Structure 1
Amino acid sequence: MQKGKVIIQKEQVDQIDNICKKLHNTLTPLQIRNWLENFLPEEFPTALRVIENLKYFTLEEIINEYDQSLRRILDNADEKEKMFLHGLGKFGKSGSSMIYFVRQTPTYKSNEERFKILDNPDKLAEKGVNNNTLVLIDDIIGSGKSLMTYYREQIKFQFAKKATLNIKILVLCVAYMKESLTVLKEGMPDAIIYGTQYVKAFASGSSVFGYRPKMLPVRELCYHYGKNLFSKKDWKTGKTEIHPLGFNKSQSLIVFAHSVPNNTLPIIWSSKNDWFPLYPRNADGKVSRVKEFQKETWLWINIAYKLGIFKTSNTESIYTKNIDFSILAIVRLKKQKRIIPIICQILGITLNQYNEIITIGKERNIFDLNDGLTEYGLAVYEKIKKSLKIHHQEGKREKYNLKQIDQYVPKKFLGKT
């Protein structure tokens, strides 16, 4: 059979709804259906098995993982020992970004005098790291090879230059793949890793997809499509290698609130060769997803007006339309557990504008004193979501016909051009 229009069986509708809930509503049923169009109809059940087993780390879970590990690190250290924290990679990479989350942990905030952030790992002796602890931070340690390369090129040579350099090295992450331990033990035998261990998706004898006869069809599907979705050039050899099951065969099923690592199966995040991703990694895919979110939110607004949730008497007002859209967009993003900087980025607003919208939302009893959703705010979300589901089941719109929705783009926002 050829790829084409997605015809979903009733049991698969419920399955997709459950997947959305498991992934904290960061995906909509529409996005999953669009993703299924990458496959043949007879492959839908296998494809759905893959995303049923995704692990999505929310902001709260990321902070909690770091907090528990930081507490263990301090418990195992001398009271006077200082911890120097460094995010792996250059500025903007996942490691450096993780410093933000570490600083949000209760353990960091209550012991701030014991921590010091290092923007780069050069000249460690001059920075006072000698006789203390260097904590290398990232979100995930996949194969361990990227960490080893960074350690070898940025840190290891300093020990050779200064024989008296005495630094305890720890690795702090949210998750690490079991196979990375072998690489770390060879290159960093004294290092201790803190995080939650995961096994490869298709590990023999311990696969989340069951024993070998059940696991192999899933692996074959992921490999078949993945081989055309992710390749990387080795600049030393000049050869281009394919990574159908994630970077260096990591076979990860992990997605973070801030990004999806390339260790995860490419069928989840790649947009290469016109593949529709669930969680895009590249800039174009993210921009496309933002536009899609905005279009969907206008559909939510239309339903909100029809249900009488928002008053319709002033719907022609530029200010009112934009505020209604922004409030409902923030409600959706808060349900997805998005952090404030990401919300501002998606909506293209400043922090001050975000706070103004929250204030208006509080006046409407949608947001509470802590800027979270009130019971009424949650009820609004569920009511529109339920109506949207009925709307879709009745088949009134083909793939929601998002292109047919009148989009309003204001010339001014909250009085600003």
Structure 2
Amino acid sequence: MSREDVIDRLYDKLKILSDSVWDRHHSLPHIEEWASQFTEAPEIPDDERIQALYLLSNFIYFGQREIRALLVSLYRDLFRAPMIRTIRKRLGGTSDLAALHAEYEHTLAHTRFLGVGNPSESGSHLLYYFRQENSLAKTSFLSSHQIFDRIQNEGAATVRVRDQDVEHYVFIDDLCGSGTQAEEYSRDLVDPLKHLNPNAKVHYLVLFGTTNGLQKIRELNRYDFVDSVFEIDESFKCLSDDSRIFSTGDPHFDRAKTLETCMRLGAQLWPSHPLGYKDGQLLIGFSHNTPDNTLPIFWAETGATKAWTPMFKRYHKIYG
């Protein structure tokens, strides 16, 4: 197959992705603008532009429609179904649907859903869709600052759990990559919550979770339930030895050379994490943002030493 044939084949696939999966938010001219930043070469394995287009053709993108469907699965499969199983077991294995429904409604009334991070971050952003898609009451939701009350008593401040009737706290996020954010959250919120209310159950539920990240969170033993709708194993690290996209044996696409390209450009865009945060190596993005665990060549806009036009722009956290 000639170089032109390979490029045509890639663009045929990318056009389909642009018209369907990407909802035309990332057009062929946009792809061309992004791809033009990579150098070309006569030999296909040496052509950085072809390497980039191949990675792009394997990029996993979730639009608003898909995110809403995943949030239905998160509630139904990771919270509601396990709760009903627990209730049925507690009621001696009953098949009485009315009794199960009544007990579940009682559990739901004593449950609060929260986003991971502050109200401006993606975890909280998802709660709006989560509430709509699962027909939940606004009273079922909290911001993290509403968990505790600070009581001033004779000049000394004490902290207590604001609502002692809450039995389940369910933290929701889009992605658990390295597990760093959930670990920090557990230290700052879950530990004091458990100390003040040992009977509270704390859930950490995400749309996507890497196998290593989820395991790291489970090993903290701070959350009572840790789960994801979709688990991302090591084969999703696109440039690793076990990469699923280079497992086909297609001679046109060389993993080692693509890794070299991504390392070199990534080092100019994000020197401390050239392949994504903590070596994430992911090819994943959402309509509301692109995780920093994804390769920087897709989302970086202004690098440490290089200006760059992103394919899937990332909106960074701004501290100040």
TM bracket, shorter-chain basis? 0.7 to 0.9
Equivalences for 1:203-352 in 2 at 5 Å?
Answer: 203-210=240-247, 214-231=254-271, 242-272=272-302, 273-282=306-315
TM-score by length of 1: 0.57
1:63 aligns with 2:99: no
1:187 aligns with 2:187: no
1:20 aligns with 2:15: yes
Q: What amino acid sits opposite 2:174 in the alignment?
A: D
Distance in 2 separating the partners of 1:244 and 1:153? 29
Q: What amino acid sits opposite 2:192 in the alignment?
A: F
Equivalences for 1:127-138 in 2 at 5 Å?
Answer: 127-128=163-164, 130=166, 132-138=167-173
Contact 2:176 2:214 (8 Å CA) reproduced: no
Structure whose residues are more often strand by fraction: 2
Distance in 2 separating the partners of 1:211 and 1:129? 54
Report what 1:198 is aligned to: 232
Distance in 1 separating the partners of 2:37 and 2:52? 10
Classify 1:211/1:188 alpha carbon distance in 2 versus 1 (closer, same or farther; 3 Å).
farther
How many equivalent pairs are there?
259
Contact 2:289 2:315 (8 Å CA) reproduced: no
Distance in 2 separating the partners of 1:227 and 1:45? 20
Classify 1:70/1:277 alpha carbon distance in 2 versus 1 (closer, same or farther; 3 Å).
same
**Structure 1 segments of 4+ aligned residues over 6 angstroms from their partners:** none
**Superposed CA offset, 1:32-86 (max 9, x none):** 1111122111212211111111111011111111101211211211412133110
Q: 2:32 is paired with a residue of what secondary structure?
A: helix
RMSD, aligned CA: 2.4
Q: Could you say which structure has the larger radius of gyration? A: 1
Distance in 2 separating the partners of 1:196 and 1:169? 20
Q: Paired residue for 2:129, among 93, 98, 101? A: 101
Distance in 2 separating the partners of 1:269 and 1:104? 29
Classify 1:36/1:165 alpha carbon distance in 2 versus 1 (closer, same or farther; 3 Å).
same
Distance in 1 separating the partners of 2:245 and 2:9? 21
Classify 1:148/1:21 alpha carbon distance in 2 versus 1 (closer, same or farther; 3 Å).
same
Unaligned runs of 5+ in 1: 1-7, 232-241, 284-417
Q: Which has the higher contact order (CA 8 A, sep 6+)?
A: 2
Distance in 1 separating the partners of 2:315 and 2:72? 30
Q: What amino acid sits opposite 1:64 in the alignment?
A: A
1:174 aligns with 2:179: no
1:50 aligns with 2:55: yes
Q: What amino acid sits opposite 1:97 in the alignment?
A: H
Q: What amino acid sits opposite 2:180 in the alignment?
A: K
Equivalent pairs: percent with the same residue? 24
**Superposed CA offset, 1:251-286 (max 9, x none):** 221110111111111000101221111012248xxx
How far residue 167 of structure 1 moved from its aligned partner, in angstroms, is 1.9
Distance in 2 separating the partners of 1:152 and 1:266? 29
Distance in 2 separating the partners of 1:129 and 1:248? 39
Q: 2:278 is paired with a residue of what secondary structure?
A: helix
Report what 2:43 is aligned to: none
How far residue 206 of structure 1 moved from its aligned partner, in angstroms, is 4.5
TM-score by length of 2: 0.74
Contact 2:48 2:258 (8 Å CA) reproduced: no
Q: What amino acid sits opposite 1:37 in the alignment?
A: S
Contact 1:140 1:176 (8 Å CA) reproduced: yes
